[in-house]
Amino acid sequence: MIELKHVSKSFGSLTVLDDISLTIPHGETTAIIGPSGTGKSVTLKLIVGLLAPDAGEVRCFGVDMARARERELYRVRRRFGMLFQDGALFDSMTVGENIAFPLVHHHPELTAAQRRKKVEEKLELVELPGVYDRPTAALSGGQRKRVGLARAIITEPEVVLFDEPNSGLDPLTSNAIDALIVRMKEVMGVTFVVISHDIVGTINIADHIAMLSGGKVVEWGPTPQFVRSSNPIVRGFLERNLVLPEGPGDVTSLPQAR
Ligand SMILES: Nc1ncnc2c1ncn2[C@@H]1O[C@H](COP(=O)(O)OP(=O)(O)OP(=O)(O)O)[C@@H](O)[C@H]1O
Ligand SMILES: [Mg+2]
């Protein structure tokens, strides 16, 4: 459904991605991890066609995202929900208007009352009821994040891309977001691609983990296999972000956050 084939991307003299290939399994959660500045956010933007690769191709639902016509791109994007790293909310709108925005764009057939009902449902889901008419500028950082999440899932997309859904959230809210991801995957069969710095949370929610480092996918596989990787780059990264047993360990001995 989502496939990156021999993708390279540079900005000026900076090569961010150097011939990476990755297949995102349908109906499962894939996490992309790696040090800051390794191209995780760039990878998500390539997937939705906001950036074009210099070489290689990104195919979503069979469509070559860099070469697709506007109409085709629109049809693919309808099937995606995306939470950007910075939230990307419009401060000039109310919370409700922000969340309803993709609905207005992609489902013009809905009435205002139908839209409001859907928005209220999603606000319940992210545990932020009663803020529909609040000005977006008045929200706290964690609340903004949850509003961004509600907006990403408002159209009930088949694929949800989350760039750091947990960053800046308190542990309770962060756990609630992780639980939401697991529930949506199980109940609605949603395919998730999640970028996260929260390694323990990632291990708990991801079916597959890909690690980017130095412009390459240095490791990629099912989570239990990934955490046992003997690749020194992976071990170094995991050990810096987790207290791990020495060397490739048993996944059951990993610290459980929740
Ligand atoms: N539009 C752009 N123009 C120029 N450089 C860019 C652009 N987008 C990203 N970069 C550069 O590409 C590199 C990778 O950026 P990216 O945002 O993908 O990192 P990241 O892995 O998401 O990091 P973080 O964990 O800090 O969010 C960075 O050096 C960044 O400065
Ligand atoms: Mg990023």
Q: Give 84 Cα–ligand 2 centroid separation in angstroms.
A: 9
10-residue stretch averages of pLDDT, the chain, 258 residues long? 96 97 95 93 92 96 92 89 82 94 91 95 88 92 86 92 84 83 85 88 92 96 95 91 55 48
Of 8, 9, 11, which is best to mutate to test ligand 1, by the most ligand atoms within 8 angstroms of its C-beta?
A: 11
Q: Are 74 and 108 in contact (CB under 8 A)?
A: no
Per-residue pLDDT tens for 188-225? Answer: 889 999 998 888 888 889 999 999 999 999 999 999 99
Ligand 1 pocket test, candidate residues 18, 32, 40, most atoms within 8 A of CB: 40
> What is the pTM (predicted TM-score) of this model?
0.86
pLDDT of residue 210: 96
What pLDDT is stored for residue 37 in this prediction? 92
Q: Cα(204)–Cα(178) distance, rounded to whole angstroms?
A: 8
List, edge to edge, every strand of the sheet that includes 14-24: 14-24, 2-11, 55-60, 63-64
